[in-house]
Amino acid sequence: MKNICKNKMINSENELTEVIIDYLKSMDYNVRKEVPNMGQSADLAATKGRWVTLIEAKLYNWKRAMEQCQAHESVADYIYIGIASVNISDDFYSGANKRGYGIIHCDPYTNVCRIILKAKRNTKIWNPQRQFFTAMIKDIEYAY
Amino acid sequence: MHIDHFMTFGTFAEQRYYTYPNIDTYKGVVINGNMASHAPEGLSQFLLEKTKSISYIIDPITHAFQHDVSYVTSIDKKTKAVKVKSSIEKLANIYGPPFSDIIGVKPINPSDFTTQTIKDSCKKCLDFQLTHLSKIMVESSTNKKYLDLSVTDLHPYTLIAPYFFMDETTFDKWLELQILFIQEAIKLKAEKNKLFAAIVLSIGVISDENLRTKLINSYSKLDVDGYLIWIDEFDEHSASINELKDLVEFGRALRNNKTKEVINLHGSYFSILAAGQLGDSAFTGIAHGPEYGEYRAVIPVGGGIPFAKYYIPKLHQRVKYKVAQRIFKEKGWLENIELFQDKICNCDVCKKTLENNPNNFLKFGITTPKEFVRSTGIVRIDYPISQTKEICLLHYLERKAIEYKFSATASIVQINSDLDEGIKLFEEVIGEKGVSHLKKWKTALNK
């Protein structure tokens, strides 16, 4: 996995999002910010070819992220939670694993990101919603 | 058995819904007094022409004057001065002292009233309800050319005596004044007009046996035709069994052996059930807004992002589109149209929207993003498009009309089976909490 270093501590979700964007770009993803999906917005949408990965970024509130990710099951091939907490609790890891979500952990002090749980391919996509989503996302500029 | 179906008036943009799904779906419309004072011509036209003379009730909203002045004032965009909202100011001036004296200065208190101002403001409040819209309607060209109705024909369905909100801590403070107002209203009203007492309470009052008994004893002695009740922010979907039971018992007590009308101003399917066969007519009528207003805070809390919500018939609840879509997908009900119509809905709106293709359920959730610049960067908020809002609302109204009829005419076995079916269909997908309201409703209403 490629890691990115920055010289700034992650203090906000916005900063976390920027760190994750750099991380995803280094893996050749096209990344968009604040992507609407059924009345909420995914923090990040990373696309590569026809594959869509949606990411919710939280400093530490993984439970809220898990709730938000549920809506993304209708449209995303892969779903990740980006987190900047110092530690990853067992409940979080097992909960995400059970749902098939992945975890990108970004060290808040070093800004080093790595995938500590790989997302499983989501099989709950509803095609009409996915088609609507992919048509809509084209109108959103990349985050760089 | 029949349940009177009322709808509260929101905005003029919604006026076409008051004849949907049929012209005779609604017994009447409940109009807030400040709306009546502010836009009488528009409302008169709405009542006379758009709804073919639907019954109406003007809620005098005298309680608005007892809350913090910030709720009745706004900041002038140009001058930045704090001013009283014009519709409330008009109402205060109509009612006269002490309403007109204190408006924008301080909340009204029982001590602000004298014997004379109780008489005077009560008369003005009742006259306002009787004549403010009817005098415009009777003089309108539509009436003169086509309807030829008298001003008496155009009177509201019932008058409402001035009233105030009471919770457990303010009950004793406000009760006496309310009774005095009602007694005065009884003296003033003409024989041909109905008079209701409005009872606006916190659930704590009804749940407190002593307060409830005192309340019933005080109000049941009054020679009124009925009651308009409003329990502050009482969400029947999350209320406890005991609270639900207390509400039903309260309704039954006010009904006084079914001699008085009782309208619940903000009720969901639970209240509709309570008004029907299962609840043995604990209420005579239930009101709600166009897709909102099944519960409402006495002190309004507005704002928030509007989400597209779909009313799930067997759950008897509006849920966010994304949740409904997830549930239906998981249950496999979006695989073909027959499953959709059998398990979800086959109302006219759903039939027309889906056009025999369950993929068109998407239309109940189409949104468009709007961008806002915040200090942290651009934020996109997804809003339902107007067509989405329209079909969600129309579907809601279709289902509501069905619920009123079902509750009034189905057997108790059928009504309970419907609740059981909802529990069985949804519990495994949305969990125990998601269906607990159905279980609580069933427990609260069955003996």
Residue A1 has pLDDT above 60, yes or no: no
Q: Confirm if A44 and A32 have CB atoms less than 8 A apart.
A: yes
Q: Parallel, antiparallel, or unpaired: how do β-strands A102-106 and A113-117 relate?
A: antiparallel
pLDDT tens figures, A110-144: 999 999 999 999 999 999 999 999 999 999 999 97
Closest in A39, A41, A140 to B307, CB measured: A39
pLDDT tens figures, B356-368: 999 999 999 999 9
Q: Residues 316-375, chain B: which have Cβ within 8 Å of A?
A: 320-322, 325-326, 329-330, 334, 359-362, 365-367, 369
CA B217 to chain centre: 26
Candidate from B45-54, B63-72, B137-146, B409-418 with smallest mean pLDDT: B45-54
Q: Is residue A123 within 8 angstroms of chain B, CB to CB?
A: no
Q: DSSP character for A37?
A: E
Instruction: Tell if the CB–CB gap between B330 and A74 is shorter than 8 Å.
Output: no
Q: In what order do the strands lie in the sheet with A113-117?
A: A30-37, A40-48, A51-58, A78-83, A102-106, A113-117
Q: Copy the structure tokens of residue B170.
A: 């303010």
Mutate to test the interface with B, among A69, A79, A122, A126 (most CBs of B within 10 A): A126
- d(C-alpha A38, C-alpha B305), whole Å: 12
How many percent of chain B have pLDDT more than 90? 85
Instruction: Tell if the CB–CB gap between B322 and A71 is shorter than 8 Å.
Output: yes
Look at residue B303 in the predicted model and tell me its pLDDT: 67
Residue B413 has pLDDT above 80, yes or no: yes
- d(C-alpha B433, C-alpha B280), whole Å: 27
ipTM exceeding 0.85, yes/no: yes
DSSP notation for B107-121: ---GGG--HHHHHHH
Which residue, among A56, A98, A54, has the nearest Cα to A77 in the 3D structure? Answer: A54
Closest in B307, B362, B382 to A129, CB measured: B362
Mean pLDDT of A70-81: 97
Instruction: Tell if the CB–CB gap between B305 and A39 is shorter than 8 Å.
Output: yes
Q: Copy the structure tokens of residue B72.
A: 């009745």
H helices present in B332-385, as ranges: 337-343, 348-354
Strands (E), B202-314: 226-231, 261-264, 285-288, 309-312
Residue B63 has pLDDT above 80, yes or no: yes
Omega cis (within 30) before B384: no
Q: Copy the structure tokens of residue B50.
A: 């758009």
Query: How would residue B76 be classed by pLDDT, with cut points 50, 70 and 90?
Result: confident
pLDDT tens figures, B433-442: 999 999 999 9
pLDDT tens figures, B169-208: 999 999 999 999 999 999 999 999 999 999 999 999 999 9
Which of chain B's residues have a Cβ under 8 Å away from the Cβ of A41? Answer: 369, 379-382
Query: How would residue B302 be classed by pLDDT, with cut points 50, 70 and 90?
Result: low
- d(C-alpha B198, C-alpha B60), whole Å: 10
**To the nearest whole number, what is the mean pLDDT of chain B?**
95
Q: DSSP character for B27?
A: S
Candidate from A117-131, B87-101, B371-385, B395-409 with smallest mean pLDDT: B371-385
pLDDT tens figures, B124-146: 999 999 999 999 999 998 888 88
pLDDT tens figures, A15-64: 999 999 999 999 999 999 999 999 999 999 999 999 999 999 999 999 99
Instruction: Tell if the CB–CB gap between A38 and B321 is shorter than 8 Å.
Output: yes
Query: How would residue B80 be classed by pLDDT, with cut points 50, 70 and 90?
Result: confident
Which residue, among B74, B68, B78, has the nearest Cα to B87 in the 3D structure? Answer: B74
Number of neighbouring beta carbons within 10 Å of residue B296? 19
Candidate from A90-104, A125-139, B295-309 with smallest mean pLDDT: B295-309
Q: Is residue B379 within 8 angstroms of chain A, CB to CB?
A: yes
Query: How would residue A8 be classed by pLDDT, with cut points 50, 70 and 90?
Result: low
Which of chain B's residues have a Cβ under 8 Å away from the Cβ of A71? Answer: 322, 326
Helix (H) or strand (E) holding B36: helix B33-38
Chain A closest-CA separation from residue B27 CA (Å): 35
Closest in B308, B326, B380 to A36, CB measured: B380
Instruction: Tell if the CB–CB gap between B378 and A40 is shorter than 8 Å.
Output: no
